[in-house]
Amino acid sequence: MVMLFGMKALKFPIGLLLNSMQQRAKAQDLLKWIAMLSMVIDHLRFIFPSMDALIIIGRFAFPLFCLAMAANVQRLPVSTPVIYHFPYLVRLSVFAVISELPYRLLRPEADTLNILPTLLLGLLICLSLQYPSRAGLLSAISFSCIAILLNPWLMYGALGALLPAVCLAGLIYGRSFVLLAMLLSALCNMSLPTLNMLLRLSASHFNPQDGLLLMSAALAPLLGIIVLQQKISFSVFPVTAWGYWFYPVHLLIIYLIKLLFIS
């Protein structure tokens, strides 16, 4: 009898837990869809150069991808074996290489690599911090130093590689780290050095588009966390392993459309 009541008592919280996990998975998929849509809208500028204001919407993409990555890391138990992460890291590394050609075709003047190497370093830093040990801390510091060394070649620079870890801290610890993620997102989304950016945003050199860029980039982590906290009542098509192909394929499609427009 005691066992029977014990089993009944366990069913309710387990059901709640499964429902919570399903809601969270749907929220994460929705977040990824918003990030991908923002990225595509941003890259439409290469087809329609006169519509450069699209970059304001595009500034949501990178912070939201960082937040989605942080949410994936957070849901893993701290005791997860390191080897469990290898397929994820290998896929990201392979697609970082695959994506470089379509990225170069679309942006031959670019002086940085495509976005995936930045996200790869961000993931390595995030995963390292998930292990509360000296080895985990040393790994996080080592990968951060690599990001600093590679700063000139990383899209969004070393700050961009640190953003997923700060987003992870925001998800775990709340307000103060969310504010830090917003600040970091704004800084790494600006193509100019921080000092020049601040000068351009001063009263004497104010450019409205720069102000909107800064605002959208800063708001992205906060709005993303709000999305993750919502109970999603509608179905969301899951973004699984096929999502890796989305980045290089959409770059190639936009490049081909651009060729058609030019010709």
pLDDT at 92: 96
How far is residue 219's CA from residue 35's CA, in Å, rounded to a whole number? Answer: 13
Domain count along the chain: 1
pLDDT of residue 195: 44
What's the pLDDT score for residue 9?
38
Q: Enter the tokens of residue 94.
A: 């392979």
In a domain, 208, yes or no: yes
Q: Within a domain: residue 16?
A: no
What pLDDT is recorded for position 184?
95
Residue 62 placed within a domain: yes
Query: Does 36 fall in a domain?
Result: no
pLDDT computed for residue 24 by the predictor = 63
Please report whether residue 23 resides in a domain: no
Measured in residues, the chain has a length of 263
Q: Does a structural domain hold residue 31? A: no
Cα 90 from Cα 67, distance rounded (Å): 20
Start-to-end CA distance of the chain, whole Å, equals 79
> What local confidence, expressed as pLDDT, does residue 22 receive?
53
* DSSP H helices in the chain: 2-43, 54-58, 61-74, 86-98, 100-106, 115-129, 134-149, 157-173, 175-188, 194-200, 208-228, 243-262
> Please, what's the largest Cα pairwise distance for the chain?
79
Residue 82 is given by DSSP the state G
Judge whether 222 and 182 are in contact, CB under 8 Å: yes
Taking CB atoms within 8 Å and a gap of at least 24, the contacts of 48-57 are 52/209, 53/209, 55/209, 55/213, 56/209, 56/212, 56/213, 56/216, 57/216
Identify whether 15 is part of a domain: no
Q: What is the pLDDT of residue 170?
A: 94
Element at 207 (helix H, strand E): none
- How many CB atoms lie under 10 A from the CB of residue 172? 11
Range of the domain at 145: 44-262
Res 200: pLDDT: 53
| pLDDT for 5 | 35
Q: Could you tell me if residue 115 is inside a domain?
A: yes
Among candidates 123, 131, 126, which has minimal Cα distance to 80? 131
Would you state the pLDDT for residue 206?
58
Q: What is the pLDDT along the chain (263 residues), one digit of tens a residue?
A: 333 333 343 343 444 334 445 556 899 999 999 999 999 999 999 998 888 888 889 999 999 999 999 999 998 887 778 788 889 999 999 999 999 999 999 999 999 999 999 999 999 999 998 887 888 899 999 999 999 999 999 999 999 999 999 999 999 998 899 999 999 999 987 754 444 555 555 555 556 777 788 899 999 999 999 999 988 888 999 999 899 999 999 999 999 999 887 65
* pLDDT recorded at residue 198: 52
Over its C-alpha atoms, the chain yields an Rg (Å, rounded) of 20
Query: What local confidence, expressed as pLDDT, does residue 84 receive?
Result: 86
